[in-house]
Each structure stands twice: as structure tokens, then as C-alpha cells.
Chains A and B, each alone.
Chain A
Amino acid sequence: MALLTATPALADSTLPPADFANTQLRDPAKEARARDLMGTIRCLVCQGQSIADSDAEMAGDMRSLVRQRILAGESPTDIRDKLIASYGDYVTYDPPFNWLTAPLWLMPLILIGIGAWLARGSFKRRRG
């Protein structure tokens, strides 16, 4: 059963949202790049939402930051790396490959290998 959370009851400031929190970039290609990145950045004060989906004020500030940096010509990878430098791997939904996440990323290949090896027993040897 999916019960859904309402917006968390955080104290909000009285200032209007940051410049680019809810304002798209003019250039559709840049906006698309920002959009893709925002979908993979985790909102820090919400329960499991990306900053693209969250109504939290801080998520708005982070969207604004992403759009401003994209507008300034930074690549999504650089922006993501900078956020990881500030907050650690928690901030990205796309876990960076390292010693700790290697089992996670290699798992599909390992599982296919084990599966194929197990399934082998059910097949006849080559016709003959």
C-alpha cells in the first residue's frame, strides 16, 4: 500500500523562491540537461525525493544552483561532483563507482553469470 507523505512541515523563510527554482532556462537544450541532473540529485531535507520533485525550499535553492551553473556553461558531471564534495555520495541517486559500490554495479553481470551456470544443467548437451 502506498501511503504518500505530505510536504514536510519545515519552517520556511519569507523570501520568494530563488531565481531559478521554478523558472526554466531559455535554451531548451540547457534546460533538458539541468532537468536530467535535477532528477538524480536527492533532496536533503525530504523523504526520498529528488530536488526536481520536491516542494521544499532547500530543493528550490538547489534547483536554482543547478540551473545557474548549467547556464554558466558547467557540465552536469562537474556540478554533481561539486555537490558530492559538499554532501558525500548521499546527494546523488546515481552512486559513484568505488570500492564500496563495486559489488552493487557489478551485480547484474555476476547474477547473469551465476544464472547461466545454473541453467546449463537443464539443457541437453549439444545434439549427439
Chain B
Amino acid sequence: MKRGLIWLPLGMFALIFAVVAIGLTRPAERTVRSAMVGKTLPAFTVGAIVPGKPGLSNTMFADGKPRLLNVFASWCIPCIAEAPMLLRLKKMGVAVDGLAIRDTSIAIRAFLARNGDPYERIGDDRQSAVQLALGSSGVPETFVIDGKGRIVLQHVGDIRADDIPEILAALEKAK
């Protein structure tokens, strides 16, 4: 027993060494993913931010049709880069809803006029309450919601051309 004990410190060191060596080879995931993926949307209702477009509530997503929920803001620069991709998705027949984070009606109208408007509905999330409930930690983020109001995919960051197949596949699967 005593003999074995002598090697215990070396064993403990080897264990710690292994842990950090593994940690080092795999760069840590810095984006915080939503834990809501795979779960039903949390209950929320937010008003409209733009005249002529309704606001949002979680019950609207349980209409049998899969759709995108795009978390965006007029003050967010990657959102401008993402706008053409959302328009392209809309042309492909994808239903897109928006959740405007910490924004004003004037700013959003200007943003839509400049960058195009892919949204069927836009909710006004003035104090990020819905964003926090969704488990989103920044703008832009896009959630794929299935016809029963369940989140099936979270896309962090702006949607680029090569992200579109993944999003279409998720929408297809959610049917």
C-alpha cells in the first residue's frame, strides 16, 4: 500500500495534465448556446414596432408551419450584412418573423427601408426580456421553430450564403 501511495502525487499530476492538455487542444467554445433548443418556445407576447405589421407571441408559432425567428436590431452591423440572406430565404418561401432588440420604431423603419423587409411580423423587445427567455446572447441570432412552436435550431451570428442549406434542412425536417 505504502509503495503505491508514493506514486499517487504523480498520478494526480498526470490527471491534471491530461485535463488541461485536452482543454488546450480543443479551443473553448466562447459562444453561449441557448438551452432552449429542442424545447417549446417560452410564453411571451410583445407589441408591434412598425405600423402595419403585427407584434409577436409564442402562440403564433403553433400554426403547423415551420418558420424562422430572427433576433435583430437596427443598431447591429452584422444584421445589415445578413439582410440579403433573409430576403433570399423569404423568396424561397420561408416565413420569417423578427424580434427587434432595444430599438425604436423610427430606427427600424429606416433599417427596413434601407436593407429590405423579409419579416411577416416584428415584435418589440425593448428590454431584451424575450431575448433572455429564448436564451439568445446577442444579435443577430436566428431560431428555427417547427409547426408546434418548438425550437429546433439556433444559429448564432449573421446568416451567410453557406449557412442557408443548413437552415433549409432544419426547416424541411421540422415539417
Contacts and interface: CB of A to CB of B under 8 A. Distances in A.
B103 A15 contact: yes
Contacts of A13: 73, 75, 101-103
B19 to A, nearest CB: 12
Interface string A72-103: 00000000001111111011000000000000
25 contacts: A11-B75, A11-B77, A13-B101, A13-B102, A13-B103, A14-B75, A14-B107, A18-B127, A19-B127, A44-B137, A44-B138, A58-B137, A58-B138, A61-B127, A61-B131, A61-B132, A64-B127, A83-B132, A86-B133, A86-B135, A87-B32, A87-B34, A88-B32, A88-B35, A90-B32
Q: Is the interface of A mostly helix, strand, loop or mixed?
A: helix
Q: Is the interface of B mostly helix, strand, loop or mixed?
A: loop
Band of interface residues on A: 20 to 34
Contacts of B60: none
Contact of B102 (A15, A86, A91, A118): A15
Interface of A: 11-15, 18-19, 44-45, 57-58, 61-62, 64-65, 82-88, 90-91, 118
A45 B102 CA distance: 16
B76 interface: yes
**Which 9 A-B pairs give the minimum distances between C-beta atoms?**
A86-B135, A13-B102, A88-B35, A44-B137, A61-B128, A18-B127, A13-B75, A15-B102, A87-B135
